[in-house]
Amino acid sequence: MLAEKEDEALAAERRKRQTHVALGYRILAAQRWGDMGDGHISARDPERTDCFWFLRFGVSYHNATVDDLVLINPEGELVAGEGPINPAAYYIHTPLLAARPEVVSACHVHTGWGTPFSAEVRPIEPITQESCIFFEDHAIFDDEEVQIQSVEAGARIAAALGGNMAVILRNHGIMTVGEQVADAVGLFVTLERVCEAHMKVRDPKPISAEAARFAKQDLIKYGPGRSTFYSLVKRHIPDKTVVDSKSA
């Protein structure tokens, strides 16, 4: 009986993570990101913890469903699901999730502000309320390899990220991670808006480190990205049943 309950709990957690990944891709689409398939959201499997789920290659983000997800193992082999995989997702997410066992999800897509901001190779400063979320909690991957073609290159991104929740990929864009899929996706949308503020303000005056830490403590107390994620779902995805299954 105990084993059966544990199996049910794992299945429920897997379904939650899968659903949030599909919803996450739809959130990206609602922001008009990923039209060229230039992004990926991962979710660590709760049972096979060295494997992760993400959208199979070629599916339009605004149509993403749980049935469109594939499970990949550390060798890049298809464990569950059908269809081609996004090689960049495998190269980047595999070493990152291996390096950070507490991380469940990572999110990256090319955007209108995060990508040009990354070309300036500078850190986030506490110049807005939202930017305080990333105060002392982001890193810069200062590397010219913008076309990630190996797990070794992804490992260098993981090393640059360290224990932070976000990394700026030089000349490439931004990426966020979270202990829930909702955190990773919500943080990503927030970071994009933070990058927009940094690109638009010509001569910002940052608040003090003390004030930034105080704001951050309050802003992340319910999870660093969860409230943003659920707000975006309510705003942009009125019919959430289609996310659960193509047959719904």
Which SS3 state, helix, strand or coil, does residue 51 take? coil
Q: Is the residue at 221 inside a domain?
A: yes
CA 134 – CA 191 distance, rounded (Å): 8
Q: In what order do the strands lie in the sheet with 173-178?
A: 39-41, 105-109, 173-178, 166-169, 138-141
pLDDT at 2 (0 to 100) = 62
Tell me if 211 sits within 8 A of 126, measured CB to CB.
Answer: yes
CA 110 – CA 189 distance, rounded (Å): 12
Tell me if 100 sits within 8 A of 158, measured CB to CB.
Answer: yes
Q: Is the residue at 245 inside a domain?
A: no
Q: Is the residue at 246 inside a domain?
A: no
pLDDT at 3 (0 to 100) = 67
Note the pTM of the prediction, 2 decimals: 0.94
pLDDT at 7 (0 to 100) = 83
Name the residue among 27, 44, 176 with its Cα closest to residue 104: 44
Q: One digit per residue, pLDDT tens: the chain, 248 residues?
A: 666 777 889 999 999 999 999 999 999 999 999 999 899 999 999 999 999 999 999 999 999 999 999 999 999 999 999 989 999 999 999 999 999 999 999 999 999 999 999 999 999 999 999 999 999 999 999 999 899 999 999 999 999 999 999 999 999 999 999 999 999 999 999 999 999 999 999 999 999 999 999 999 999 999 999 999 999 999 999 876 667 544 33
pLDDT at 37 (0 to 100) = 87
pLDDT at 248 (0 to 100) = 34
Q: Is the residue at 134 inside a domain?
A: yes
CA 172 – CA 137 distance, rounded (Å): 19
Q: Is the residue at 248 inside a domain?
A: no
Instruction: State the total domains in the chain.
Output: 1
Q: Is the residue at 247 inside a domain?
A: no
Please report, for the domain that includes residue 92, its CATH number.
Answer: 3.40.225.10
pLDDT at 200 (0 to 100) = 97
pLDDT at 247 (0 to 100) = 36
Alpha-carbon distances of 2 from 26, 47, 49, 227, rounded to whole Å: 36, 16, 21, 33
Return the bridge partners of 78, or none: 72
Q: Is the residue at 210 inside a domain?
A: yes
Q: Is the residue at 24 inside a domain?
A: yes
Query: Which range marks the domain in which residue 89 is found?
Result: 2-240
